[in-house]
Amino acid sequence: MLEIKNLHVKLEEEDKVILKGVDLTVESGKVHAIMGPNGSGKSTLSYVLSGKDGYEVTDGEASLLGEDILEMEPEERAAAGLFLAFQYPVEIPGVGNMTFLRTAVNAQRKARGQEEMNATEFLKEVRARAKDLKIDADMLKRPVNVGFSGGEKKRNEILQMAMLEPKMCILDETDSGLDVDAMKLVAEGVNALRDEGRGFLVITHYQRLLDHIKPDVVHIMANGRIVKTGGPELALEVENNGYADILAEVA
């Protein structure tokens, strides 16, 4: 599904290297988790994959379903099936959440040569998905993420994911800022989308989320590289002992 080989990334504006050879493959139908200390490059990886400006790929490659994505525009990557749930969802004053969602859904459909969703169909769909995530109608009417609490923003990301039905979902700390109940809702939202044809890359600092979204593989990222890969037990080890042992071991 998602194949990353030897990915090197530096900042465009300065000589700071952030990713120093990331190798990672997420197979279709699988959930991979990435954990790692603050500043190790997890969000950078997610941004580079989704096409944010300001980063320069100096080496390596990344492909989605066999297609090189690094040369694509962000919207092309999205249409190809990539989705990033942002660590910090952006507020867009003046753009209604509904307008935004519908524009996004239809833009992707159009890019894939599918028919656009009509207003009634769309409304029905959004309402049903929003209900599952306990997002009330009022939130849908408000401008994108404006005045949303931290947890509401994260739920809104999952709503978008559910509506867009991407192939490859990257979730960057979607659990941070969520209360226990909201975390369950979000996990249920993610689990409902788990499917043979879909891959997940879940970035998190906490085992808690992984209790609900059971990963197949856990990676540890440190200093711009994947330094260790294992099963779900690796997350437990981090939870109990922190990163010191793992980092010492690979140093």
Partner 1 sequence: MALAPVTAILTPRKQEATEARLAAMTMPAGGWSDAARQDAVARVRAMGLPGARDEYWKYTKPEGFVDVQAQAAAVFQSDEAPMFDELDRLKIVFVDGVFDADASDDLALEGVSIDRLAEAADIHWAKDLYGVLEERGQDPVQRPLASLNTAYATDGILIHVTGKPSKPINLIYRHASEQSDAILHHVIKVDAGAEATILENGPAASRFNKCMEVDVADTGRLHHVRAQGRDHERRAITHIFARLGTESTFKSFTLTVNGVMTRNECVLELTGDDAEAHVAGACMGDGNFHHDDTVFVTHDAVNCESRQVFKKVLRNGATGVFQGKILVKEGAQKTDGYQISQSLLLDDDSQFLAKPELEIYADDVACSHGSTSGAIDEDGLFYLRARGVPRGMAEDLMTIAFIAEAVQEIENEDIQEQINNRVAGWLERRRG
Ligand X SMILES: Nc1ncnc2c1ncn2[C@@H]1O[C@H](COP(=O)(O)OP(=O)(O)OP(=O)(O)O)[C@@H](O)[C@H]1O
In this structure, what token pair is assigned to residue 159?
A: 């709503």
d(CA 133, CA 246): 36
38 binds, among Mg ion, partner 1, ligand X, none (CB under 5 to 8 A by kind): ligand X
Q: Contact with ligand X (CB under 6 A): which of 7, 43, 158, 164?
A: 43
Q: How many CB atoms lie within 10 A of CB 242?
A: 11
Q: Which is nearer to Mg ion, 87 or 174 (CB)?
A: 87
By CB under 5 A, what part of segment 39-58 binds Mg ion?
42-43
d(CA 38, CA 212): 23
Listed in sequence order, the residues at least 6 apart from 166 whose beta carbon sits closer than 8 Å to its beta carbon are 78, 81, 82, 83, 198
CB of 83 to ligand X, least distance (A): 17
Amino acid identity at 210: L
Question: How would you list the strands of the sheet with 17-26, edge to edge?
Answer: 17-26, 2-11, 55-64, 67-68
In this structure, what token pair is assigned to residue 144?
A: 């994108």
From the list 41-49, 130-138, 145-153, 229-237, the region that binds ligand X by CB under 6 A is 41-49
Binding mask 75-104 vs ligand X (x if CB under 6 A, - otherwise)?
------------x-----------------
Q: Contact with partner 1 (CB under 8 A): which of 17, 65, 95, 247?
A: 95
d(CA 192, CA 1): 19
CB of 141 to partner 1, least distance (A): 12
CB of 53 to partner 1, least distance (A): 7
Residues lying near partner 1 in the complex (CB under 8 A): 50-53, 73-75, 77-79, 84, 86, 89-95, 99-100, 103-105, 107-108, 111, 143-144, 160, 164
